[in-house]
């Protein structure tokens, strides 16, 4: 397939060369679009010096968020390489598994993660490992490009990035992201959240995750806007930045847990964030009660839904607070390039209002997993991707997520979705976090067990949680037990690691 010109960095380098493109908040470095364009071309030069022919080779990174990572990403797109950002929060054996799976020609690492870099993988010596600081020195010494604002045409179906899944169960898998997948996903988010050239994004979601790289970083650059890249989320620092009129942040993306942590800051005043055009949440269920608390402060909190496999798919349309409030229990409507259908276990489409599995297809949906033909066979059918998420669509076309199908349990013959119980418990102001799993029960087969983190300074008992649920839920949905805990295990993208909760339950039950 012939290449298609979708090089938006080059486009804005020639149309708005002096417009601010990116800021690295940790170092204070700033790039205009022309400077960003030049840095990418110098990185292309350095990559070719390091590995020779870059066509199809994997360039991996092991680093906290930085604009450097974005420069490497776009240099991979222009040079024909495949960008592979690795999750630095993993343990050394897990990192070694990922490196062995993608077999990079070059691994760029931040010095603080040097101890995670394996000397060998799959029986081979690591071809090239280089610290990010060393690479920056090489970029500074690289020749200045002769011409700026000249893009590179890329085949729409060419793989430009591998994003490894969070691995909530089993080994992570590499999700293939093509040039068209990335472009369509960014376009969807821009159209769905009113992104303009005047927008300013704060990117704190990790750049090894689709919400960071594809949504919070690429989307603003696609529109010629500005992205502020932060190394990590810190509730107090983030709150201060979002409230800072000088920074002028208009868009922010986080998982629900991050939003909840901000609300727990002493002296928090959500009204200071009411200038935001969109506060988008995803990655984990966002209870209706939580959304409405932000709306009461004048903050347009927009539930959304997407995955590494399909980027941005659904979002609550911004602008109309009454509409957002009325549909706060949903994750919105489909984006431009997305087709969604809800099916029964046999793959037959179900009527509106009926719970089933969400399947997606469209320009934003991955063609498959990296070197996993058996998984591709299981996960796709006739061009549709089987998401594994259960949900339904209402008569107005708004979609609601019920839960992951694998997290559903059956109690006394009734299907129980933990997300519904979690949303109910979150309504309690004394609750900071909650996760529910199904556990064995001699009488009912399975019953719910709720792991609850009390809100800071709150007094909470298991009996209070159960009493609240008895008022709000059918009897078979009420958790039989509540475990008060200091924390709930999550992946880097905010997803609860329920298999670890089950291990905790098993140990307690066996004690």
Residue-wise DSSP of 306-360: EETTTEEEEE--SS-HHHHHHTTTS--EE-TTEEEEEE-TTS-B--TT--EEEEE
Which residue do the tokens 């081979």 mark?
124
Can you give the pLDDT at residue 122? 47
Taking 80 as the threshold, does the pLDDT of residue 284 lie above it?
A: no
pLDDT digits (tens, 9 = 90+) for 71-129: 999 999 999 999 999 999 888 888 888 999 999 999 999 989 988 888 765 444 455 67
Contact 385, 247 (CB under 8 A): no
**Torsion-angle region of residue 383: left (phi > 0), alpha (psi -120 to 50) or beta?**
left
**Which stretches does DSSP call E strand in 150-231?**
153-154, 159-164, 174-178, 200-203, 226-229
Burial of 121 (0-12, 13-18, 19+ CB in 10 A): buried
pLDDT at 250: 98
Q: Burial level of 372, CB count in 10 A (0-12/13-18/19+)?
A: middle
Split at pLDDT 50, 70, 90, the class of 166 is low
Domain ranges in the chain? 4-393, 409-510
pLDDT at 31: 98
**pLDDT tens digits, one per residue of 247-263:** 999 999 998 878 988 99
Are 437 and 505 in contact by the 8 Å Cβ rule? The answer is yes
pLDDT band at 172 (very low <50, low <70, confident <90, very high): confident
Band of residue 353 on the pLDDT scale cut at 50, 70, 90: very high
pLDDT confidence of residue 136 = 82
Per-residue confidence (pLDDT) for residue 121, from 0 to 100: 54
Task: Tokens for 346, please give them.
Answer: 């046999």
Banded model confidence at residue 170, pLDDT cuts 50, 70, 90: low
CA dist 59 and 103 (Å) reads 9
Task: Say whether pLDDT at 16 is over 60.
Answer: yes
Residues 6+ apart with CB under 8 A from 462: 452, 481, 482, 483, 484
| C-alpha pair distances (Å), 149 with each of 11, 14, 218, 426 | 6, 5, 18, 50
Q: For residue 76, how many other CB atoms are within 10 A of its CB?
A: 24
Q: Is the pLDDT of residue 415 over 90?
A: no
**Rounded to the nearest 5°, which phi and psi values hold at 379?**
-95, -10
**Residues 285-338: tens digit of each pLDDT:** 788 889 999 999 999 999 999 999 999 899 999 989 999 999 999 999 999 999
What phi and psi, each to the nearest 5 degrees, are found at residue 210? -60, -35
Predicted confidence (pLDDT) per residue in 380-413, tens digit = 999 999 998 889 999 999 999 887 777 878 787 7
Percentage of the residues of the chain whose pLDDT score is greater than 70: 96
Q: Among the CATH numbers 3.40.50.12780, 3.40.50.300, 2.60.120.560, 3.30.70.141, which is that of 4-393?
A: 3.40.50.12780
Lowest mean pLDDT among 42-51, 273-282, 329-338, 405-414: 405-414
What integer pLDDT is reported at residue 475 of this predicted model?
Answer: 87
Q: Is the pLDDT of residue 473 over 50?
A: yes
Confidence of residue 492 (pLDDT cuts 50, 70, 90): low
Q: What is the mean pLDDT of residues 494-499?
A: 80
> How sure is the predictor about 493, in pLDDT bands with cuts at 50, 70 and 90?
low
63 phi and psi angles, rounded to 5 deg: -160, 150
How far apart (Å, rounded) are the C-alpha atoms in residues 235 and 258?
7
Please name the residues in contact with 112: beta carbons below 8 A apart, sequence gap of 6 or more.
none
Give CATH for domain 409-510: 3.30.300.30
Q: What's the mean pLDDT in 363-370?
A: 96
Is the per-residue pLDDT at 499 higher than 60?
yes
Q: What is the mean pLDDT of the chain?
A: 91
Asked if residue 18 has pLDDT above 60, the reply is yes
Higher pLDDT, 364 or 499: 364
Residue 9 has pLDDT above 80, yes or no: yes
- First-to-last alpha carbon distance for the chain, in angstroms, is 61
Q: Return the minimum-mean-pLDDT range out of 39-48, 226-235, 422-431.
A: 422-431
pLDDT tens for 179-224 read: 999 999 999 999 999 999 999 999 999 999 999 999 999 999 999 9
pLDDT of residue 289: 87
What is the pLDDT confidence band of residue 168, given thresholds at 50, 70 and 90?
Answer: very low
């Amino acid at each position: 397939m012939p290449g298609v010109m979708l090089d938006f960095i080059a486009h804005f380098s020639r149309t708005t060369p002096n417009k601010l493109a990116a800021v690295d908040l940790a170092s204070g470095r700033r790039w205009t679009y022309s400077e960003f364009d030049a840095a990418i071309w110098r990185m292309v030069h350095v990559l070719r010096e390091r590995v020779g022919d870059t066509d199809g080779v994997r360039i991996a990174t092991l680093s906290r968020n930085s604009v450097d990572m974005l420069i490497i990403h776009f240099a991979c797109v222009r040079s024909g390489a495949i960008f592979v950002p690795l999750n630095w929060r993993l343990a050394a054996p897990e990192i070694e598994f990922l490196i062995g799976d993608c077999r990079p020609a070059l691994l760029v690492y931040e010095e603080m993660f040097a101890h995670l870099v394996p000397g060998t993988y799959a029986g081979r010596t690591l071809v090239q490992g280089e610290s990010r600081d060393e690479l920056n020195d090489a970029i500074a010494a690289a020749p200045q490009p002769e011409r700026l604002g000249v893009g590179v045409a890329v085949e729409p179906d060419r793989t430009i990035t591998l994003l490894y899944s969070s691995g909530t169960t089993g080994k992570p898998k590499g999700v293939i992201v093509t040039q068209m997948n990335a472009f369509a996903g960014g376009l969807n988010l821009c159209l769905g959240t009113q992104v303009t050239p005047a927008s300013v994004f704060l990117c704190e979601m990790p750049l090894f995750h689709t919400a960071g790289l594809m949504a919070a970083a690429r989307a603003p650059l696609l529109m010629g806007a500005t992205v502020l890249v932060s190394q990590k989320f810190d509730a107090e620092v983030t709150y201060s930045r979002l409230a800072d009129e000088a920074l002028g942040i208009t868009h922010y993306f986080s998982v629900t847990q991050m939003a909840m942590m901000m609300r727990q800051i002493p002296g928090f005043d959500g009204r200071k964030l009411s200038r935001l055009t969109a506060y988008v949440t995803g990655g984990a269920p966002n209870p209706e009660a939580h959304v409405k608390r932000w709306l009461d402060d004048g903050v347009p909190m927009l539930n959304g839904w997407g995955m590494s496999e399909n980027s941005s798919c659904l979002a609550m349309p911004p602008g109309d607070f009454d509409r957002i409030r009325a549909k706060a229990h949903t994750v919105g409507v489909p984006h431009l390039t997305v087709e969604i259908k809800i099916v029964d276990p046999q793959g037959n489409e179900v009527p509106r209002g009926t719970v089933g599995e969400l399947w997606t297809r469209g320009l934003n949906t991955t063609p498959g997993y990296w070197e996993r033909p058996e998984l591709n066979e299981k996960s796709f059918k006739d061009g549709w991707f089987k998401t594994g998420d259960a949900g339904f669509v209402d008569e107005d076309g708004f979609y609601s997520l019920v839960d992951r199908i694998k997290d559903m349990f059956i109690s006394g013959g009734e299907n129980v979705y933990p997300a519904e119980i979690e949303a109910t418990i979150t309504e309690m102001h004394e609750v900071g976090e909650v996760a529910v799993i199904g556990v064995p029960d001699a009488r009912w087969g399975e019953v719910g067990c709720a792991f609850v983190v009390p809100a800071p300074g709150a007094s909470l008992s298991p009996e209070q949680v159960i009493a609240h649920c008895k008022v709000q839920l059918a009897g078979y949905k009420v958790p039989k037990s509540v475990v008060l805990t200091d924390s709930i295990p999550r992946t880097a993208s905010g997803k609860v690691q329920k298999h670890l909760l089950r291990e905790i339950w098993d140990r307690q039950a066996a004690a």
